[in-house]
Amino acid sequence: MQQEVTGKEIKLPWLLLAGLLNNMGQSFIWPLTTIYIHDALHESLTVVGVVLLLNSTANIVGAYLGGWLFDRVNAYKLTLIATIYEFIATAFLIFWHGWPAFPIGLVFMGFGSGLLITLINSLGTTIKSRDGRYVFNMIYFMQNLGVVFGTMMVGFVYQHGVQYLFIITAVMYVAYFFIAMTQFNVDAVKTHAAHTKQAKSKTKLPRPNLIIIWTFFIALVVIWIMYEQWTSNMAVYMTDQGIPLTKYSLLWTVNAGLILVFQLGVNFLGERIRNPYYQIIPGIAAVALSFVILLFVKSYAGFVLSISVLTLGEATAFPAIPAIVNQLTPLDVKGKYQGAVNASASTGRAIGPLLGGMLIDATSYKFLFGFAAVAVALTWVMVIVVRRWMYHRTTHY
């Protein structure tokens, strides 16, 4: 049943709650994927890598398609359909989580996750009552809060049976559906679809805007390729150094907690520093510095320092990029470019573990850390140069 329009635009707290539920649901799934496929389903790590690559590929397709559809169809109905789809994919895994049902379900979930994450960001562009940077900072904050809650609970729930993880995730998507059904059918979303139909033939993004946007897409791919070394190859490296796996897992608790702290600081500074580029440029520099630190790490404290600096960079740079893309795109293509933001990040996540593994096999971990530091530093230089060259020629919407 279609609900009555609830207001002129989506109320930010409801959008943030939807983002929290989506990321809590997803964070029940991704931490156990490698362990479950390898230990419970008795498949090789190579097979695990292929499954993760297919999941990331499906996520990329979902992210881009979600943005493309956002600009062409009723975003309210699209969100409801995407939520129902993700619920069905999750419910499938409640009953069928053996081999090959689990990886098949995981790929379908990856597609739905790409859709929903892009739709949350795209719906965020319709909120005009708050500064765009504040909106995207808060979306990022709540998504990471969902990861904190999800990863804290996953170990406890998993020991009672993997099906309970999928049951809880499915319940979260039911709650997501009711939030979307009652809170997302608003004037701003309807206006977006109507404006897109009228203006599609007139839209031509200015060249300076395109150059800056594509610079950030490239930056996201590079940074996420390097960031993924922490979620994949670093576990092996640290255990080879005699550090228990439990201490590696603890680093992600540190990461999640620091993101919440740093995001509060970013929101505070955002009210005083209006230019979002001053948020991105130091953030990318911090990511590069974190890999420089890894070159000299001799103890667990060094790994804590490195991931803390990495988290500082992540918390400052990542949420500012969709905010700038929002500034540089007109209403009728906002969904397309928000989808491309998420697709770029997913591309980096897909390539990262494989490229890192190849570099380690051919050279060493130290070479990988140096390569990552140089690659991110060059990305930092690229962003600074393009920003100085093009910023004053851009058109803001």
CA dist., res. 369 & res. 140, Å (int): 27
Is residue 38 classed exposed, middle or buried when 0-12, 13-18 and 19+ CB atoms within 10 A define those classes? middle
CA dist., res. 66 & res. 92, Å (int): 22
Mean pLDDT of 86-98: 94
The string of DSSP codes covering 246-279 is HHHHHHHHHHHHHHHHHHHHHHHHHTT---THHH
**pLDDT the model gives residue 2:** 46
Q: How confident is the model at residue 107 (pLDDT cuts 50, 70, 90)?
A: very high
150-159, 180-189, 345-354: segment of lowest average pLDDT: 150-159
- Could you read off the pLDDT of 279-335 as tens digits, one per residue? 899 999 999 999 999 999 989 999 999 999 999 999 999 988 998 998 999 888 888
Q: How confident is the model at residue 191 (pLDDT cuts 50, 70, 90)?
A: low
**pLDDT the model gives residue 48:** 76
Mean pLDDT of 130-140: 84
Mean pLDDT of 188-199: 60
Per-chain mean pLDDT for the chain: 86
Report the candidate in 310, 320, 314, 307 with the shortest Cα–Cα distance to residue 279. Answer: 320
Domains recognised in the chain with CATH numbers:
12-202 (1.20.1250.20), 207-393 (1.20.1250.20)
pLDDT at 166 over 50: yes
Looking at residue 40, the DSSP 8-state letter turns out to be: I
151-160, 205-214, 279-288, 345-354: segment of lowest average pLDDT: 151-160
**pLDDT the model gives residue 4:** 47
Q: How confident is the model at residue 214 (pLDDT cuts 50, 70, 90)?
A: very high
Q: Is the dihedral of CA 16, 213, 68, 10 positive or negative?
A: positive
Helices (H), 318-333: 320-327
Q: How confident is the model at residue 193 (pLDDT cuts 50, 70, 90)?
A: low
Share of the chain above pLDDT 90, in %: 43
Query: Are 38 and 48 in contact, with CB atoms under 8 Å apart?
Result: yes
CA 230 to chain centre: 15
Q: How confident is the model at residue 7 (pLDDT cuts 50, 70, 90)?
A: low
Mean pLDDT of 103-132: 90
Q: Angle at CA 111, nearest 5°, toward 160 and 356?
A: 80
**pLDDT the model gives residue 373:** 97
**pLDDT the model gives residue 195:** 58
- Could you read off the pLDDT of 219-252 as tens digits, one per residue? 999 999 999 888 778 877 888 888 886 788 788 7
